């Protein structure tokens, strides 16, 4: 029975990986991943609250943690993550898909997505669901947690392929920081959702006001 369950878990994770890496990632694929994750939880008699969407014990504390984490990540992006990613990839992060300065329509569209499918959907899939299922496979050892962080973050980075290889490396690195926050916050997704939404909001606002170089030094 245990071997059968393990094989089923490996098959489930293989399907998730294929959805992420096969072809161009899209909103539809993220929704598909949410459906796969939701079905996986239902089959095991669990819900999203078991993965970190339970009601926060303190809303104010959750907001403070999210704002603090976003501040740390934004500083890391500016001074460490993006410079390192661009050196590794040999090209700058491609921000062209996120609109141009003064493009209010693009800003509103991306902000709506940032606070729905990105902040909620991506955190639910890549931190809540994927880390939990990886730990079901590898165990709760330090090595198991490290593997869960590495694999979930790598897949998260690949979903941002529209930003070029530098963007993949950069967002993968951000995903690793969010995964660490997930463990630090005792697997509470709410600080991550707040953090994710704020980081995206700052980046999109800088693009709109034509100040992208404040966060992406090599951007024109």
Greatest Cα pair distance, the chain, in angstroms, is 59
Q: Which residue, chain included where needed, has tokens 């994770």?
A: 13
For residues 196 and 181, the answer to whether their CB atoms sit within 8 Å is: no
What is residue 218's predicted lDDT score, i.e. its pLDDT? 84
Q: Which two tokens stand for residue 190?
A: 């709410």
For residues 179 and 127, the answer to whether their CB atoms sit within 8 Å is: yes
What is residue 1's predicted lDDT score, i.e. its pLDDT? 56
What is residue 2's predicted lDDT score, i.e. its pLDDT? 60
Q: Which two tokens stand for residue 28?
A: 């539809």
Q: What is the pLDDT of residues 175-199, one digit of tens each?
A: 999 999 999 999 999 999 999 999 9
> DSSP label at 46?
-
Please report, in tens digits, the pLDDT of each residue of the chain (220 residues total): 567 788 889 999 999 999 999 888 899 999 999 999 999 999 999 999 999 999 888 999 999 999 999 999 999 999 999 999 999 999 999 999 998 999 999 999 999 999 999 999 999 999 999 999 999 999 999 999 999 999 999 999 999 999 999 999 999 999 999 999 999 999 999 999 999 999 999 999 999 999 999 999 987 5
Buried/exposed code over 144-162 (b: 16+ C-beta within 10 A; e: otherwise): ebebbbebbbbbbbbbbbe
CA distance 122 to 33: 9
pTM for this one?
0.95
Q: Which two tokens stand for residue 81?
A: 């993550």
Q: What is the pLDDT of residues 108-144, one digit of tens each?
A: 999 999 999 999 999 999 999 999 999 999 999 999 9
Q: In terms of Cα–Cα distance, which of 98, 124, 123 is closest to 175? A: 123
What is residue 220's predicted lDDT score, i.e. its pLDDT? 56
Helices (H) and strands (E) in the chain, counts: 9, 0
10 Å Cβ neighbour count for 30? 21
CA distance 139 to 126: 17
């Amino acid at each position: 029975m245990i071997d059968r369950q393990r094989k089923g878990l490996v098959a489930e994770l293989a399907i998730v990986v294929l959805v992420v890496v096969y072809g161009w990632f899209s909103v539809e694929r993220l929704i598909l991943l949410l459906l796969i994750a939701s079905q996986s939880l239902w089959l095991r008699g669990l819900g999203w609250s078991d993965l970190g969407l339970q009601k926060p014990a303190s809303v104010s504390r959750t907001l403070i943690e999210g704002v603090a984490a976003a501040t740390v990540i934004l500083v890391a992006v500016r001074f460490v993550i993006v410079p390192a990613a661009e050196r590794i990839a040999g090209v700058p992060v491609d921000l062209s898909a996120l609109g141009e300065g003064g493009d209010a329509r693009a800003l509103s569209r991306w902000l709506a997505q940032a606070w729905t499918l990105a902040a909620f959907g991506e955190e639910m899939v890549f931190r809540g669901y994927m880390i939990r299922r990886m730990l079901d496979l590898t165990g709760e050892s330090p090595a198991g947690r490290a593997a869960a962080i590495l694999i979930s973050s790598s897949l998260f980075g690949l979903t941002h392929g529209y930003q070029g290889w530098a963007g993949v490396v950069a967002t993968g690195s951000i995903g690793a920081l969010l995964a660490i926050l997930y463990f630090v916050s005792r697997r509470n997704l709410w600080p991550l959702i707040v953090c994710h939404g704020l980081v995206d909001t700052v980046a999109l606002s800088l693009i709109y006001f034509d100040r992208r170089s404040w966060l992406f030094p090599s951007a024109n």
